Amino acid sequence: MDLAERVACEDVVMFVNAAVTSTGQREFHAGAAQQRLSLAFLHEYVLVNYRELYAATLALDVNDFNAGLVVLNLLRTAQEVPLPRWKLEGALIAARLRTLPPQRVYRILHTLRAEGINNRRTRAIVRDWVAGRPDIAFDAVKYRRHLAGAVRHTHVRLPDEVGTMLFDWRRPKRYATPILETWRRAHYEQRAVFDLPYTVAEGFAAMHRIDRARLLQRAGSQLTGLERLRLQDTATRAGRKTPVRVEVDLHWTPLTRLAVYVLSLPRPERARRRDELTAALRSAARRAAGRRAGTWGTVVGVLDDSYSAAGSGVKRRRPLAVALAMHYLLEALATRHHTVWLAHTGDPLLVHPIGATPLGQRLLDGLRLRPDRLVVVSDGWDNAPPGQAAEVLRVWRERLDPAGHTSIVHLNPVYDGEAFDVRRLAPTVATVGVRDAEDAAALVELARFSTGTATFAQLRAYLDDLVEGFLR
């Protein structure tokens, strides 16, 4: 592989790492402004130099924030694309929008309107997305302002009652669509408020001066699973209980979100609910592992619970939650599994961020077991002493395991805006960014492109296969 191809391969993998991990928010070691500036540069650089591959990243597990930026950048520059790629880009954008949460898509549509982007492809994509919504009347109630703006900007046709509700809601004496009629009555009747989606009901509750305890008692059944988690987490951070106990559906929650919820609980409560929480985490891990369960052989996980795993004020305990989720996922993927925490011993449910990052010593502990696969989950700030982890990995690869019987991969949940990438432990160790542990099994396949051992043609073929499967 010549130098140009190697640089291209590294550029694309660097962008994917950033797009998987960074959400433009403050991290433990970097502020939000630095994160956003770094991301903006990466997006523009890859868009200009590797546009075809930039669009293909929509088929990867990049996070919703970066998927939205990719969609916006492709639509902003639609005139620069030849027709064959124009059609493929449009299909990728439409397919990715269908996977995004509706509130994220409505924010994208709001940005398109604010920037005056209204080309033919944009109008067609918005029209098809709105037509594909399972309940447009529900959207009209929950996202009324954003839907009205999108319709006005792209001239989308809506069912008569929905259009009337958006632009002249007082005119009908009654709506035939139940949710629209409930929304209309909620302007005048308190009883109707409790039958609306919870986030909509909150606005009407303020108008009718209904306190939160009463609203939760009467409208708690309207809460979605994510709203229940958010409500509990907000109350826990504020050091108070919710006015009414809101049950969280542990059997529905994805693995990493479940780990975030578990870590938000006080340690005594985690100990008291050990059996329930452990069973839920293991069940979520088995769902995430899917067909790969039990296929990874002997696995050792070296998991970072140092103080920096506490994350930041806006991403509380997120790196630690990824590590905790990976503990259970590796357990599901392996035939035999062992976890080495940097500081914690005992029940993983009771893990908490503390101390420095002695990665080198813990890597030695893990490698002594001679596993088939060693997985490191860490932000890469090896500091006890600095550089020891890189030296351990170098000696292991050059002297003790030159044949590569143990595969080593580093999953990093934290984007380093200053380096435009996730921090690496050693040049010879495959490193990829990870945001949700449930994506780790797929991301490990991408890791081989980060060490310079795979060719650019192989990377293109890998992305082409992902695109084909994603669109199919």
On whether residue 346 sits in a domain, the answer given is: yes
Asked if 233 and 264 sit in the same domain, the reply is: no
Q: What is the mean pLDDT of residues 143-149?
A: 92
pTM above 0.85, yes or no: yes
User: Of 147-161, 228-242, 361-375, which has the strongest mean pLDDT?
Assistant: 361-375
Number of compact structural domains in the chain = 2
Query: What pLDDT shows up at residue 359?
Result: 93
For residue range 276-327, what is the model confidence (pLDDT) as tens digits? 999 999 999 999 999 999 999 999 999 999 999 998 888 889 999 999 999 9
Query: What pLDDT shows up at residue 44?
Result: 95
Q: How far apart are CA 148 and CA 146, in angstroms?
A: 5
Q: How many CB atoms lie within 10 A of CB 450?
A: 25
Burial of 140 (0-12, 13-18, 19+ CB in 10 A): buried
Query: DSSP string covering 59-96, please?
Result: GTT--HHHHHHHHHHHHHTGGGS-HHHHHHHHHHHHHH
Q: Which residues, other chains included, contact 347 with Cβ-Cβ below 8 Å and sequence gap of 6+?
A: 271, 274
On whether residue 221 sits in a domain, the answer given is: yes
Asked if 294 and 408 sit in the same domain, the reply is: yes
Query: What pLDDT shows up at residue 379?
Result: 92
Asked if 289 and 418 sit in the same domain, the reply is: yes
Asked if 369 and 314 sit in the same domain, the reply is: yes
For residue range 395-405, what is the model confidence (pLDDT) as tens digits? 999 999 999 89
On whether residue 350 sits in a domain, the answer given is: yes
Query: What pLDDT shows up at residue 412?
Result: 94
**For residue 248, pLDDT beyond 80:** no
Which runs of consecutive H residues, i.e. helices, occur in 209-292? 212-219, 225-237, 255-264, 267-272, 274-289
User: Of the candidates 197, 227, 248, which is a domain's last residue?
Assistant: 248
- Which of the four pLDDT bands, split at 50, 70 and 90, describes residue 236? low
Q: How far apart are CA 114 and CA 393, in angstroms?
A: 50
Query: What pLDDT shows up at residue 459?
Result: 86
Q: How far apart are CA 260 and CA 322, in angstroms?
A: 8
Asked if 211 and 259 sit in the same domain, the reply is: no
Q: How far apart are CA 245 and CA 216, in angstroms?
A: 9
E strand or H helix at 433:
strand 430-433
Query: What pLDDT shows up at residue 24?
Result: 86
On whether residue 224 sits in a domain, the answer given is: yes
Q: How far apart are CA 407 and CA 299, in angstroms?
A: 10
For residue range 457-466, what is the model confidence (pLDDT) as tens digits? 888 888 889 8
For residue range 23-41, what is the model confidence (pLDDT) as tens digits? 888 888 888 888 899 999 9
What CATH number is given to the structural domain containing 447? 3.40.50
Asked if 321 and 422 sit in the same domain, the reply is: yes
On whether residue 377 sits in a domain, the answer given is: yes
What three-state secondary structure class fits 383? strand
Length of the chain: 472
Query: Is residue 326 a contact partner of residue 258, using CB atoms and an 8 Å limit?
Result: no
E strand or H helix at 431:
strand 430-433
Query: What pLDDT shows up at residue 181?
Result: 94
- Which of the four pLDDT bands, split at 50, 70 and 90, describes residue 238? very low
Query: Which DSSP symbol is given to 454?
Result: S
For residue range 29-76, what is the model confidence (pLDDT) as tens digits? 888 888 899 999 999 999 999 999 999 999 988 999 999 999 999 999
Asked if 332 and 222 sit in the same domain, the reply is: no
Q: What is the mean pLDDT of residues 131-138?
A: 92
Residue 299 pairs with which residues in a beta bridge? 337, 373
Q: Which domain holds residue 372?
A: 255-455
